[in-house]
Amino acid sequence: MEQQPCIFCKIAQGDIPAKKVYEDEEVVAFHDIHPIAPVHLLLIPKKHIPSLAKIHEADAPLLGKMMALTGKLAYDAGATHGFRLIVNTGTVGGQEVAHLHYHIIGGPEPLGRMLGK
Ligand code: 5GP
Ligand code: ZN
C-alpha cells in the first residue's frame, strides 16, 4: 500500500513549505526544490494520484485542467517563448516522488534536447 500522506500531499495541504505560484481547490503549482532550468515548476493534483500509470477515467477532467493550466503558469514564471512538459512515470520513467506531477521546464533560452534528468 502507498504510504500517505506523501511529500507532495504534505505540500498540497500546506504541512511543509513550498514556493507556491498557483493554488485552487484541486491543484497546486510550486517551484521545484532542485531546478534544472531557470523555470522549473511542479504542478500537482491535491488528490493523491500515484502516477500517470495509475489514473482512472474519472481523473481525465482533472488531468486536462492541469494540462490547460501549464501555458499560463509557464509564461507567468518567465518561460515566455515556450517550455517543456515532462511527466516522469514509474521506475522506468525515472519517477522519484509517487504523487503525479507535471514538470514545467523552460527559461529565456532554448532547452536543447536535454530531457530533464
Ligand atoms: P520526479 O523525479 O519524481 O519526476 O521528480 C520529483 C521532483 O520533485 C524532483 O525534481 C525534485 O527536485 C522535486 N522535489 C522533491 N522533493 C521536493 C520538495 O520537498 N519540495 C519541492 N519544491 N520539490 C521537491
Ligand atoms: Zn500524495
Binding site membership of 96 for ligand 1 (Cβ less than 6 Å): yes
Is 54 within a domain? yes
Candidate list 48, 56, 81, 101, residue with the active-site label? 101
pLDDT band at 3; cut points 50, 70, 90: low
Other beta carbons within 10 angstroms of residue 105's beta carbon come to 24
Is 33 within a domain? yes
Is 70 within a domain? yes
Binding site membership of 91 for ligand 1 (Cβ less than 6 Å): no
Instruction: Verify whether residue 31 is a known catalytic residue.
Output: no
Return mean pLDDT, the chain.
93
> What domain range is 24 assigned to?
7-114
End-to-end Cα separation, the chain, in angstroms: 28
pLDDT band at 1; cut points 50, 70, 90: very low
Residue with the bigger pLDDT between 57 and 4: it is: 57
Q: What share of the chain is helix, strand, coil (3-state, %, to 5)?
A: 25, 20, 50
Q: Name the residue among 45, 29, 46, 47 with its Cα closest to residue 83.
A: 29
Is 2 within a domain? no
- Number of structural domains (the chain) is 1
Is 77 within a domain? yes
Beta bridge partners of 22: 29
Which CATH number covers residue 84?
A: 3.30.428.10
Binding site membership of 97 for ligand 1 (Cβ less than 6 Å): yes
Give the H or E element holding residue 103: strand 102-106
Here the cell at position 103 is 514538470
Q: How many CA atoms lie within 13 A of 98 on its CB side?
A: 11
Report the distance separating Cα 48 and Cα 26, nearest Å.
11
Span from the CA of 66 to the centroid of ligand 2 (angstroms)? 16
Q: What is the pLDDT of residue 117?
A: 44
| Residues, the chain | 117
Is 27 within a domain? yes
pLDDT band at 112; cut points 50, 70, 90: confident
Is 110 within a domain? yes
- Check pLDDT > 80 for residue 2: no
Q: What is the pLDDT of residue 116?
A: 46
Is 100 within a domain? yes
- Check pLDDT > 80 for residue 101: yes
